[in-house]
């Protein structure tokens, strides 16, 4: 390939990656994927805390 062809492909790939990042950003803001992720993470952590409390309560009763 010639030098110009390689440069064109690099520009095309970089442009596609930047476009994809912009689309993902807009979609995540629109749908609220980050909010959903935070909600799920908080629910998992709350479940772990609840399980730890149950284990502590069981140890106190024994």
Please count the CA atoms within 13 angstroms of the CA of 52 that sit on its side-chain side. 6
Mean pLDDT, to the nearest integer, of 39-62?
A: 68
Q: Residue ranges per domain, the chain?
A: 1-31, 32-62
pLDDT of 13 strictly over 60: yes
> Confidence class of residue 16 from pLDDT cuts 50, 70 and 90?
very high
> Confidence class of residue 54 from pLDDT cuts 50, 70 and 90?
low
């Amino acid at each position: 390939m010639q030098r110009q062809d390689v440069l064109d492909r690099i520009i095309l790939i970089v442009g596609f990656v930047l476009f994809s990042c912009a689309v993902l950003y807009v979609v995540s803001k629109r749908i609220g994927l980050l909010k959903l992720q935070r909600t799920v993470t908080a629910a998992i952590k709350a479940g772990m805390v609840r399980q730890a409390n149950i284990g502590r309560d069981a140890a106190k009763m024994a």
